[in-house]
Amino acid sequence: MILGITFEEKILKKIKLEAYVGLMNSYGITLLEFAPNFIDYDTDFYIKIFQELKENSLQFNFHLPSFVDERLSVDNFKEAHKEYYKDYFIKLNQIFNLKKNSATVVFHGAKYEDNTKADAINKTLSVINFLLKLFSENNYQLTLSIETLNKNKYKIIGDSRKDLKKILNTVDSPKLKICWDITHDFLNFGEVHCPEGKILDAISHCHVHGFKDNQSHLSLSENPQFFPAIKFAKKNNIPINIELLMQDNYIDILKKDILTVQSIS
């Protein structure tokens, strides 16, 4: 099983980088998912982290940080932002050497709260085609992965498997994948509904995180209803990323969640 966690920059204010990576090694974590945020952190910050990853043979993925940088949001995609995307990936390449190291880039589709779903799908397709072309032209060893999202929070592309199939059929590229968010998917269906067919074949990896009282990214150990989906992911060799975000007692919760996922069989 490939088990990863979402990297939280803030954790390095509480624990040294070497100790943090040592903790990951001791708990069997082999993958970190980054949302590199060049608004609050400089490239030197991530270069130091990447050197530590290489020394410990840790893999990495990315999540576009559209939640902190609106210029990277699919909702705001326009011609003027193309250069900004290019510059963003130039910085990533300078840090992570994307021409030699393969990784997946997770992103959220466009919202259709103020627009039609057709417009949102078209905007999402525009970003997909632009990024896949960008990756190809620059020889970046990247795949793109659209995340399954919670329809109860936003009206957004990714909240329907039917829409995801339509996008996969339209783009028809081996470089386009799906990030299966187990928690979002459960909240959409009200139960575990394991993927199959074209959706299953396209999954690059999965996210899982706890949920309670409209709050998410909590301890997944308190949500046994997700365990059958985690078991399915393990059985189908789908890499699992624990998407716990910074909160009180973060390290203790993370350790517990890692052990919980490892114990599910």
**pLDDT score recorded for residue 118:** 95
**pLDDT score recorded for residue 215:** 86
**pLDDT score recorded for residue 133:** 98
Consecutive 10-residue averages of pLDDT for the chain (265 residues): 97 96 97 97 97 96 96 94 97 98 98 92 97 98 98 93 97 97 96 96 98 92 97 98 96 98 97
Q: Superfamily assignment of 3-263 in CATH?
A: Divalent-metal-dependent TIM barrel enzymes (3.20.20.150)
**What does the angle CA 102 – CA 103 – CA 106 come to, to the nearest 5 degrees?**
155
**pLDDT score recorded for residue 6:** 98
User: 108 and 156 in contact (C-beta within 8 Å)?
Assistant: yes
Quick one: CA dihedral 233, 239, 244, 249, positive or negative? positive
Name the residue ranges covered by the structural domains of the chain.
Answer: 3-263
What is this structure's pTM?
0.96
